[in-house]
Amino acid sequence: MHSSKTDQIVPGFSLLTDTSANGKARAGQLNLPRGEVPTPVFMPVGTQATIKGVLPRDIREVVQAPIILGNTYHLNLRPGVDVVRKAGGLSDFMKWGGPVLTDSGGFQVFSLSKLRKITDEGVRFRSHLDGREIFLGPKEAVAIQDGLRSDIAMCLDVCPAANDSREEVESAVNRTTLWAQACQQAWMNSSGPTESRNLFGIVQGGRFQELRQKSASALVELNFPGYAVGGVSVGESEEEMLEQVRWTTQVLPKDKPRYVMGVGTPTQLLKMVGLGADMFDCVMPSRAARHGMAYTANGTLNLRNERFKEDFSPLDENTDSFASQEFSKAYLRHLIQAKESLAGTILTLHNLRFFVSLMEQARLHIIKGDFETWSSAWIRNYESGA
């Protein structure tokens, strides 16, 4: 095990491994108001103040997730930030009790391309629920997240599409930097800093290396306590996505957490850990569960298949949860065929535990010093099974 680098401790984050001696993969720890978060870490997504189909207690005890993600855009529309604030914040409102990261709401707004108009002040758009006009600018994004009392809030950013022109992406980068400055000022005027909560900047730049590094450098100058790689997995290939992560992590400080937003598959997560990323979120495990898909170290299983009709072996005896070990593939297939919601619940718990556990294993091997060897073997095994 590598010795701790006490000179790399910054408020809220400590890096436990010497990356110069251990490749680019890092093991660290986030110290947040609602708890400690070991990194690398996978964050289950709770869009509507719930991780679909499962109890918060089971996210703590079965999935063993140290942190979850909430969605600013959806929670602001319904039930409204005032309701969540009066409940004590998102963690208390949903009876989670642990740390929460909230996105800025920007990605959802930018996915509503037919319903919005962007200026330097912010975005004017129409609600996908009732069509009413809403304005979201840096101050508004910060105010909503302050009301949600998230442990980590995100700056409002402009997320360009994968095929946008260089001119369009450069405009998005410039506006993202402008908004980051405004978000930071609004955050300093909010209750966030006094409660030791964190505001992270988001790097954009699309498929252009120069723009990625320009965005990262501008945000580093603003000295955020953490940084995210945004605008990946928006239509580009896996190779292009990994290239964008590589470009960005090369510029970001070594002593602050790096969060790749909205990704990815198990093999992508391990590859990005190898590039120096620390935090991830994705709806994939829970969405796949609702469609009868289970992740295992030997690849994915489509439990709708006939071949599982009389397969009474455990879903995945190598994943350490009752959802993985106590129910047979035959039983789960029956639930899926009968359209019983319990199938989605069991598979969601299993898939989320699988993803969270994978990051736990990665952390152990980073600390041990054999991450690259272990990761390469794990990926080979997964891809041969898939």
What pLDDT tens digit does each residue of the chain (386 aa) get?
333 333 333 448 999 887 655 579 999 999 999 999 999 999 999 999 999 999 999 999 999 999 999 999 999 999 999 999 999 999 999 999 999 999 998 787 777 767 788 999 999 988 888 888 989 999 999 999 999 999 999 999 999 988 999 999 999 999 999 999 999 999 999 988 888 899 999 999 999 999 999 999 999 999 999 999 999 988 899 999 999 999 999 999 999 999 999 999 999 999 999 999 999 999 999 999 999 999 999 999 999 999 999 999 999 999 999 999 999 999 999 999 999 999 999 999 999 999 999 999 999 999 999 999 999 999 999 999 86
Residues 49 and 138 in one domain: yes
Is residue 15 within 8 Å of 30, Cβ to Cβ? no
Residues 235 and 342 in one domain: no
Residues 214 and 99 in one domain: yes
Given 282, 298, 326, which residue is the final one in a domain? 282
* Residue 111 belongs to some domain of the structure: yes
- Which token pair is 344? 């989605």
The reported pLDDT for the residue numbered 21 is 59
Torsion of CA 227, 228, 230, 236, to 10 degrees: 120
Cα separation values, 233 from 23, 130, 134, 248, 268, Å = 25, 29, 27, 15, 11
* Residue 14 belongs to some domain of the structure: no
92 a catalytic residue? no
Residues 383 and 242 in one domain: no
Residues 320 and 362 in one domain: yes
Place of tokens 């964008």: 244
Nearest one of 76, 10, 17, 11 to 49, comparing CA atoms: 76
Dist. CA 321–CA 32, nearest whole Å: 26
* Residue 319 belongs to some domain of the structure: yes
* Residue 20 belongs to some domain of the structure: no
The reported pLDDT for the residue numbered 195 is 85
The reported pLDDT for the residue numbered 2 is 34
Is residue 357 within 8 Å of 323, Cβ to Cβ? no
The reported pLDDT for the residue numbered 349 is 98
Number of domains in the chain: 2
The reported pLDDT for the residue numbered 11 is 47
- Which token pair is 231? 């605008």
Instruction: Kindly tell me the burial class for residue 163, based on how many C-beta atoms sit within 10 Å of its own C-beta (0-12, 13-18, 19 or more).
Output: exposed
Residues 272 and 288 in one domain: no
* Residue 3 belongs to some domain of the structure: no
Residues 114 and 125 in one domain: yes
Cα separation values, 143 from 37, 82, 259, Å = 25, 11, 22
Given 282, 314, 334, which residue is the final one in a domain? 282
Residues 115 and 157 in one domain: yes
Range of the domain at 198: 40-282
103 a catalytic residue? yes
Q: Beta 198-203 vs 116-119: how paired, if at all?
A: unpaired
Is residue 337 within 8 Å of 14, Cβ to Cβ? no
Dist. CA 224–CA 207, nearest whole Å: 24
The reported pLDDT for the residue numbered 20 is 56
The reported pLDDT for the residue numbered 3 is 33
The pTM for the full model equals 0.95
* Residue 29 belongs to some domain of the structure: no
Report the CATH number that the domain containing residue 86 is assigned in CATH.
Answer: 3.20.20.105
The reported pLDDT for the residue numbered 7 is 34
The reported pLDDT for the residue numbered 266 is 98
Torsion of CA 180, 185, 187, 188, to 10 degrees: 140
Q: Determine the number of helices (DSSP H) and then strands (DSSP E) in the chain.
A: 15, 17
The reported pLDDT for the residue numbered 113 is 66
Q: Which of 58, 151, 281, 316 is catalytic?
A: 281
If DSSP codes are grouped into helix, strand and coil, which group holds residue 39?
strand
Q: Which of 58, 103, 146, 151 is catalytic?
A: 103
Residues 148 and 73 in one domain: yes
Residues 79 and 164 in one domain: yes
Residues 100 and 222 in one domain: yes
Given 249, 267, 282, which residue is the final one in a domain? 282
Dist. CA 386–CA 383, nearest whole Å: 5
CA torsion sign for 103, 108, 110, 116 is negative
Dist. CA 367–CA 3, nearest whole Å: 9
* Residue 5 belongs to some domain of the structure: no
Residues 169 and 95 in one domain: yes
* Residue 23 belongs to some domain of the structure: no
